[in-house]
Amino acid sequence: MTDAHLFAIGVVLAWLAGIRVYLTVFGVGLAGALGWLELPQALQVTTSPWVLGISGALAVAEFFADKIPGVDSGWDLLHTLLRIPAGAFLAAATLSPEAEGLGDLGAGALAIGGGAALVSHAVKAGSRVLINTSPEPLSNWTASVTEDVAVVTGLALVFAYPWLALSMVLAITLTLALVIWWIWRRLFRRAPRPVKW
């Protein structure tokens, strides 16, 4: 693969980690363990039975926690501390294919991955805060299932069609950011002040 392909893959994996970190790690590890992918040396750790077992169990827990209004926002807040570094690692491990350990990962690649994970995490968490103001749980479930589908689709596409996956990630991020901004302005627009004579 070319460096450009590796860049696209790294950014998409980091973005996916910002949404569903455990599912992303599990998907990458499972694909490597089953021989579907030739993983870089630094990502080989994801094929460990321990990593697969723990990330798989936590992915199931996240699947259910993310469907409960209020719990999902608490889960997002707690996972801010995990999603961003995990995204940074996934991107740097992809962008530094010869790296054998954390010390060999490039600072620029870590920054790119951390930034991509931060953006997707912020959009996800911000949309959930707005969605949780809705009195019915249907919108929360719909958003959560949409995120699950987006991550699984992204994992399925990223290694075969990295540029398509990157384009989808950018389009989703831009669309959601604009929707959140529009809703935020509608909800918190100040009423006009009466004119004093």
62-75: pLDDT as tens digits? 999 888 877 887 88
**pLDDT for the residue numbered 95:** 80
**Does 104 have pLDDT greater than 70?**
no
5-9, 34-38, 189-193: segment of lowest average pLDDT: 189-193
190 vs 115, higher pLDDT:
115
Mean pLDDT (the chain, rounded): 82
Out of 47-61, 71-85, 113-127, 159-173, the most confident range is 47-61
% of the chain surpassing 90 pLDDT: 17
Phi-psi region of 40 (alpha: psi -120 to 50; beta: other; left: phi over 0): beta
- DSSP letters, 106-162, are -HHHHHHHHHHHHHHHHHHHHHHHHHTTSSSSHHHHHHHHHHHHHHHHHHHHHTT-H
pLDDT in tens, 153-189: 988 888 888 889 888 888 888 887 788 788 777 777 7
Q: Is the pTM of this model over 0.85?
A: no
**pLDDT for the residue numbered 29:** 92
**pLDDT for the residue numbered 48:** 92
pLDDT in tens, 8-21: 888 899 999 999 99
